[in-house]
Amino acid sequence: MEELSTRQQKIARLIQREMADILLKINKTQFSGKLISVTQVRVTKDLGIARVYLSIFPSEFAESIKTEIEMMGKPLRGELGRKLGKSLRVIPELEFYIDDSLDYIEKIDKLLHS
C-alpha cells in the first residue's frame, strides 16, 4: 500500500471530520435507527478523489444506504465545499465504500470461540 504524504493525511482527516458531521445530520432525518460512521478517508496524490469508507450498522442495510448516499454525491460534495471552502482550493470528488472490517473481526471472533 502506498504511503500517504503529510498533506494527503491532513486533508483526509479534515474531510473525514466534516463528512462525519454532514452524514450525522442526514442520518437523523433519512436513516433514523441506523448508525453511519466515517471510518477512514483516503485521498489520491493529486487530491482529486476522496475515498470515503463508511461503517453502517446494522450491516444488512449497508448496500442500500451506501447506494442512497452515492445518489446524494453532488449535494454532499457541495456541502463539503461550503464547509471546507476556506481550507481547500478544489474539493475532491467523493467515492463511497463500505468498511466491513468490523464484520470481519466479528466473524473471526466467532470462529475462535467455536
pLDDT for res 92? 95
* pLDDT per residue as tens digits for the range 58-109: 888 889 999 999 999 999 999 999 999 888 889 999 999 998 777 677 778 7
By the 8 A CB rule, do 105 and 63 touch?
A: no
What pTM was computed for the model?
0.85
Domains of the chain by start residue, with CATH: 6-113 (3.30.300.20)
pLDDT band at 10 (very low <50, low <70, confident <90, very high): very high
Using CA atoms, how far apart are residues 28 and 95, in angstroms rounded to an integer? 22
pLDDT for res 74? 94
SS3 86: coil
